[in-house]
Structure 1
Amino acid sequence: MARDLIGYGGQWPDLRWPNGARLAVSVAVNLEEGAEQQVGDGDPQSERMGEVLSVVPAGVRDMGQEQIFAYGTRAGIWRMLEALEQHRVPATFLMCGRAVQRAPALARAAVAAGHEAAAHGWLWRPHADYASRDAEAADLARCAEAIAQATGQRPRGFFCRGAESAWTRGLLLEQGFRYTSNAFDDDLPYHDPAHPGLLVVPYALDSNDMKFFHPNGFVRAGEMVDYVADALAVLLAEAERGRPRLLNIGYHLRIAGRPGRFRAFEGVLEQLAALGGRIWLARRAEIAEAFAAAVPPAAFTGTASTTRP
């Protein structure tokens, strides 16, 4: 597979988003709780990453970790849905299939509030670790079906934990997906020349509340608010110079849904709402379609500068 280290090469398309702004902003909320690996759910191991690293021995049920995740769906989601409604911010909910199957009412509530349902894998796991194409295809279809059954909305977009497999993008096309977000390499969507018809809507791990769970990341809620403000300032300045941009901001129910971190969510929503028409707040499927309508595949395909097997 070719690595493209050039991308747009400093020559971006003359793109304005549907409201006339040059900067689009995507707020993504991850719904993973109940789909993380837990021995108590029959998985071979339990997820180790939570408020602290798990100290429960491998192969033993970790009820504390289960409860840390359950906070997101029992309490965090309602706090976050209320804030999204209050500030009139549309979001994309990245939904794991097993989480939706276990709590379909939560997925329905998000979609009923006007948010997009996108696929986040059957389990909260990297798709790069699938041993076969057939196994990945089955889980991808299983995830999409669970979301469709719960919400009435078939997901058009996909993002998994970690990285895709060599098969993922081909499977996405086969199963009718429009875009993938497993990309951290640009400030603008792009076409995947190896998979015509599939758009890449990049995601970001820096403007993401997962950094509260990582060393040298965010500690106080205001740190994330300030970080996003800095990102907005840089991208707005570039947008004013005619350069189209996309900012991705990611959240998790069990992380930013906690009272001590909730201002990291609400404070950013306040900033976004205050910017008005200077930005285009949109769901990821809308961003994909707006980009596709404005930038034909042949216009900017990128040039692979370095390859690896």
Structure 2
Amino acid sequence: MDRDLHGYGGNPPRARFPNDAALAVSLAVNFEEGAEWAVADGDAAAERVAEIHSVVPAGRWDQGTEQQFAYGMRAGIWRVLDALERHKRLATFYMCGRAVERSPDIARRIVQAGHEAACHGWRWRPHADYDSREAEQADLRRCVAVLREVTGQAPAGFFCRGSESPWTRELLRGENFAYTSNGLDDDLPYWADPAADRPLLVIPYAFDSNDMKFFHPNGFVRADDMVGYVRDAIEVLLEEGRRGTPKLLNIGLHLRIVGRPGRFAALARILDMLDSYGDRIWTPRRIDLARYWQEHFPPR
């Protein structure tokens, strides 16, 4: 497959965000709990990425890991929703279909609060794992169907764990998705295959300004580690925006991670920080950013 290593080539579009904001900040919350690998659900092995590396042998029931995930739905979600409501911020929730199926009332409440429900695949798995286009399409449609049934809306955006498959974007076009976020290579949206009959918008995501760094030994330890990192990113990008090239900053969140009290302090302080910048920062849902980009920078 061809790789685009150059993107905008040092000449990014000069976006003019609402209220002349110099930066767009996307709050992306991952809604995955209940869709991870679990022996209790019939999977061959349990998920290994959690607070600690599990000592339970592969193939055995791993109660501890299941409970670490369950914390996100039992406790974390309520802290996150309350904080977003108090700060009047809307987010995009990347929802796994299996998680929505198991927690429909929570998913419905999220959308009723005005947040966007986007597709995070049927299970919390890399789409690169699919052996066939047909199997991936079936699970993609399954996720769309349950989100539509539970929330009343079909998802317009997509993001999967790990990597897309070679045919994911073709499937997304066929299923009328507006954008994918499996792009870790830019600070601005861009069109994939702009000359195609149905170009697909890529709204990049990021793993650096992401609470998953609390799970990595070279990442965040205390809440202020993440707050300071996000503040530095905002200041760098605000300066670029003031010079005429506004960018996008992604803040990735997970209910079972940032929902824990010691890490929730990071989200609380980040939301306070965003408030302090006023109209200099625009915090759209990703579907709102997609609509803005389609209007102002359509594919050529």
Partner residue of 2:273? 271
SS of the counterpart of 2:68? Answer: helix
- Deviations 1:234-268, CA, capped at 9 Å, x for gaps: 00000000012000000000000001110111111
Matched, 1:198 2:181: no
Matches within 5 A, 1:20-99: 20-99=20-99
Cα RMSD between the aligned structures? 0.9
Partner residue of 2:14? 14
SS of the counterpart of 2:19? Answer: coil
Matches within 5 A, 1:99-118: 99-118=99-118
Higher relative contact order, chain-length normalized (CA < 8 Å, sep 6+): 1
1:273 Cα deviation from its structure 2 partner:
1.6
1:19 Cα deviation from its structure 2 partner:
2.9
Partner residue of 1:248? 250
Partner residue of 1:168? 168
Candidates 212, 217, 220, aligned match of 2:219: 217
1:254/1:174 Cα in 2 relative to 1: closer, same or farther (>3 Å)? same
Gaps of 5+ in 1: 299-309
What amino acid is the match of 1:36?
A: E
Normalised to the residue count of structure 2, the TM-score between the two structures is: 0.98
- Deviations 1:70-128, CA, capped at 9 Å, x for gaps: 00000000011000000111100000000000110111111111100000010000000
Contact in 2 for aligned 1:88/1:273 (Cα 8 Å): no
What amino acid is the match of 1:77?
A: I
1:296 Cα deviation from its structure 2 partner:
2.4
What amino acid is the match of 2:283?
A: L
Contact in 2 for aligned 1:127/1:136 (Cα 8 Å): yes
What amino acid is the match of 1:215?
A: P
SS of the counterpart of 1:255? Answer: helix
1:292 Cα deviation from its structure 2 partner:
1.3
- Deviations 1:121-174, CA, capped at 9 Å, x for gaps: 100000001000000000011011111111111100000000000010000011
What amino acid is the match of 1:240?
A: R
Partner residue of 1:303? none
CA distance in 2, matches of 1:244, 1:294: 14
CA distance in 2, matches of 1:48, 1:33: 14
Aligned residues: 298
What amino acid is the match of 2:290?
A: A
CA distance in 2, matches of 1:268, 1:144: 31
Query: Which structure shows the bigger proportion of residues in helix conformation?
Result: 2
Gaps of 5+ in 2: none
Q: Which runs of 4+ in 1 moved over 6 A?
A: none
CA distance in 1, matches of 2:104, 2:215: 27
SS of the counterpart of 1:184? Answer: coil
1:187 Cα deviation from its structure 2 partner:
0.3
1:63 Cα deviation from its structure 2 partner:
0.7
SS of the counterpart of 2:250? Answer: strand
1:276 Cα deviation from its structure 2 partner:
1.3
Contact in 1 for aligned 2:238/2:246 (Cα 8 Å): no
1:12 Cα deviation from its structure 2 partner:
1.4
Matches within 5 A, 1:281-300: 281-298=283-300
1:203 Cα deviation from its structure 2 partner:
0.2
1:18 Cα deviation from its structure 2 partner:
2.8
SS of the counterpart of 1:2? Answer: coil
